[in-house]
Amino acid sequence: MMHILVLGGQRSGKSRFAEATVRASRRLPVFIATATAGDDEMRTRIEAHRASRDPGWLTIEEPLELAAALRAAARADRAIVVDCLTLWVSNLFDAGRPLEPAFQDLVAALAALSCPAILVSNEVGSGIIPANELARRYADALGQLNQRVAAAVERVVLMTAGQPILVKPALPIGL
């Protein structure tokens, strides 16, 4: 089953690309949202994302139990967008949840899915090293998760200025 990890910075077009890819699949679209509306600005972002999707999308809001939501949503005639791993890791941190079991469960769920999934995540490792310990732990955790998911999926796409750049499958190493 083809799974895709879509990476990029803020406002790079990750979600738009993931949603367009699912629409093009002609499968029933499912959107698993990990965001929580903690403030007015985030509520506005969530509403804008909801409004951008056709009414035919099944939307599941699950900030913590992502692997379980994937398993429950998977059907052979569906395609799933998970948006996004970045907020999911933040939610795990905020809830004091251990990361390793959640990461393992997510990778295992991907391997067992009966439909394609496109997972969206921010690429946070391209900037400066964060100044505080919590931000460094978060960036390290998200970077580790992104690597594990990238290893588990068939395709990785990096979004830059709204343009998709194929990262995986990669060019072979050697001359």
Residue-wise pLDDT tens digits, 88-146:
999 999 999 999 999 999 999 999 999 999 999 999 877 778 889 999 999 999 999 99
In terms of DSSP H, where are the helices of the chain? 14-25, 40-52, 66-73, 85-95, 99-112, 133-152
**Active-site amino acid positions:** 49
Q: How high is the pLDDT of residue 33?
A: 95
Tell me the whole-structure pTM to 2 decimals.
0.93
What does the alpha-carbon distance between residue 33 and residue 82 come to, in Å, rounded to a whole number? 6
Strand, coil or helix: what is 166? strand
Give the dihedral sign, CA 156/95/100/124: positive
Judge whether residue 1 has pLDDT over 70. no
Residue-wise pLDDT tens digits, 35-85:
888 888 888 887 887 887 888 999 999 999 999 999 999 999 999 999 999
What does the alpha-carbon distance between residue 137 and residue 114 come to, in Å, rounded to a whole number? 33
Give me the domains of the chain, ranges plus CATH numbers: 3-168 (3.40.50.300)
